[in-house]
A and B are shown apart, each in its own frame.
Chain A
Amino acid sequence: MGRYILLRHREIADLHRLEVYVRHGGYEAWRKALTTMTPDQVIEEVKASGLRGRGGAGFPTGMKWSFVPKDVFPKYVVVNADESEPGTFKDREIMEGNPHQLIEGALLAAYAIQAERVYIYVRGEYRSVARRLEAAIAEAYAAGFIGRNVLGTGYSVEMAVHLGAGAYICGEETALLESLEGKIGHPRVRPPFPATYGLYGKPTVVNNVETLANVPPIILHGAAWYRTMGTEKSPGPKIFCLSGRVRRPGNYEAELGKITFRDLIFGEEYGQGLLEEGRAVKAILPAGASAPMLPASALDTPLDYESVQAAGSMLGSASIIVLDDTVDIVWAAYKMVRFFQHESCGKCTPCREGTYWLRRVYERIVAGRGRPKDPELLESIARQMAGKTLCPLGDFATSPVLSSLKHFRREYEDYLRRAVETPAGVPA
């Protein structure tokens, strides 16, 4: 077996072509499941593997599948390829380089819950990526891996790509389902959860692209093999998206828990250090804009769900943005707040109003017109949002605010002192 489980196209040329994928063991797991395993056995194997969702929440995949009622039809599998968290570009690489592994994983999920249809919801900005995926799906249809009576087993399943149209909130699974139904992307009140009330009100499994790309190797080689990678609670490989002030940004595949932030940023086979000589790491964003930033003292934290949580943040989608000591933390927090204000869907008041006010206060601070009490004001706005919003976006929006104030309050105070000493508009 090669170095990669997920990014296999990096060592196998033209893996996006079905013929090449098949030559390297592709669709063997699909054949194995269809001809030798019951749907429940597929679920049990994925459960035993310990695979956790790679879309952000880290929920156990096999358990999610087991919540789907057996006796209600039709059922759906929806692949979440909305990938819009700042700093995240892993699903794009899978779809461009290794699309058949995603397709095969989605088929296995469909068989496991006995779904009749799979939709792959791709963000609108990935139109070119979606075309590539559609070409791969067409190949899989032509080869008889998708469609009526697959491989003569009597099981039938359809698959189609659905293009979003620009809205981060549609990555939230219930907003995604609304969008797929042709509506605006407003999250639904949960419960009920998609497992029982999903697309068109039918039982639905929603999984991330990377999650599903893990499934074919699990079915082919078994849960025990899969568990030889990663840690007890976070098994398997993971793609880490590295961006920001590093020399070599990119996607890096590694076992969960086996490398630290420091390895990822400075390792020879990873980021190879900071962009500029003589600089130091100031802060790390472990999961794009959505999880609290960590100071440089967290550099030796292993990259798995439990360790990053223990360090005070979340691994989430593992989109690691590196801020070095050239970066103005208040400005960085402003950029993230601006993102959430732009992406708030407006359905609930605390998030709609809260993100608006946060942005207003940040705008005046970075413009040099901040007021001495602004840090307290930011905290109080954030407190009025946390836990009071319909979906997690409202909470996400508070994390750059509260974490930057916690670790870098001095930088806010510097801004505010300068604002008093040199009111904006008056040259220094």
Chain B
Amino acid sequence: MLREKYEQEIEAILARYPVKRSAVLPLLYLVQREYGYCTEEGIREVAEITGVSPTEVREVVGFYTLFYDHPIGRHLLQICDDLPCALRGADELVAHAARRLGIRPGETTPDGRFTLETVMCIGACHRAPAMQVDLEFVEHVTPEVFDRIVEDLSRDGA
């Protein structure tokens, strides 16, 4: 599946390294783009392309926080609550976010739209509190800013 659909992209990834195994992380990103998370099918495809055993690919998926072995919401809301952000209101922001979405960090809304997570420092402490929405930075996040993000992404089609 991947191989047909993303043939050129996969070729370009493999060409960057003298050793195929180095393509495991980039290919797993491709799997997540295609299937929403690292599915068994996707893991086996990565294993086949790189010549690494499926067990080892699964181990890689388990090790890195940005890889998921289960379905997550269509939008990933990651609020940093590490020390520098927490010195400027991150814990309160997390509490607000959980109330607004009616879920706890680590959970997904019942409609499958949002997954809420708390994360360690994302390199935006000078604009705390900070978060990432689908891996794009949103900084100086107030409860109002958070609510607006949720509303924008709650429109149909988003």
Contacts and interface: CB of A to CB of B under 8 A. Distances in A.
Contacts of B24: 182-183
Given A89-B125, A181-B19, A182-B21, A124 B120 contact: no
A98 B108 CA distance: 38
Interface string A194-219: 00000010000000000000000000
B121 A88 contact: yes
B63 A125 contact: no
Interface in B71-120: 82-84, 86-88, 119-120
B120 A342 contact: yes
A335 interface: yes
B87 A164 contact: no
B6 interface: no
B23 A182 contact: yes
A168 B66 CA distance: 12
Given A165-B64, A166-B65, A289 B18 contact: no
A335 B16 contact: no
Q: Which of B19, B66, B67, B86 lies at the interface centre, i.e. has the most chain A CB atoms within 10 A of its CB?
A: B66
A243 to B, nearest CB: 4
Top 6 nearest A-B pairs (CB, nearest first) are A166-B65, A182-B24, A165-B64, A182-B21, A243-B125, A166-B66
Given A125-B132, A127-B135, A84 B121 contact: yes
Contacts of B59: 184
Contacts of A92: 123
Contact of A339 (B21, B22, B83): B83
A415 to B, nearest CB: 18
A241 interface: yes
B126 A200 contact: no
Interface in A360-382: none
A416 interface: no
Contacts, number: 134
Interface in A16-60: none
Interface centre among A89, A92, A289 (most CB of B within 10 A): A89
B22 A182 contact: yes
Interface stretch (A245-253, A306-314, A387-395): A245-253
B124 interface: yes
Contacts of B84: 86-87, 243-244, 321
A250 B121 CA distance: 15
B28 interface: yes
Interface of B: 16, 18-19, 21-26, 28-29, 50, 52, 56, 59-60, 63-67, 82-84, 86-88, 119-128, 132, 135-137
Interface string A325-364: 0010000100110010011010000000000000000000
Interface string A102-144: 0000000000000001000001111110000000000000000
Nearest to A323: B87
Nearest to B12: A160
Pick from A128, A242, A335 the residue with the most CB of B within 10 Å. Answer: A335
A27 to B, nearest CB: 23
A223 to B, nearest CB: 31
Nearest to B83: A335
Given A127-B135, A200-B19, A289-B83, A184 B52 contact: no
A321 B124 CA distance: 13
A343 B120 contact: yes
A404 interface: no
Given A88-B121, A200-B19, A323-B87, A249 B126 contact: yes
A185 B64 CA distance: 9
A281 to B, nearest CB: 13
B135 A125 contact: yes
A184 B63 contact: yes
Given A86-B121, A125-B132, A321-B83, 16 more contacts: A88-B121, A92-B123, A128-B136, A162-B16, A162-B26, A163-B26, A167-B65, A182-B25, A182-B60, A183-B56, A184-B59, A244-B83, A250-B126, A321-B87, A335-B83, A339-B82
B47 to A, nearest CB: 11
B83 A84 contact: no
A87 B128 CA distance: 10
A415 B18 CA distance: 56
Nearest to B137: A128
29 contacts: A74-B18, A84-B123, A86-B82, A87-B83, A88-B125, A89-B124, A117-B18, A124-B64, A166-B64, A180-B22, A182-B24, A183-B60, A241-B125, A241-B126, A242-B126, A243-B125, A244-B87, A244-B88, A244-B125, A245-B87, A249-B125, A249-B127, A250-B126, A321-B84, A335-B82, A339-B83, A339-B120, A342-B120, A343-B120
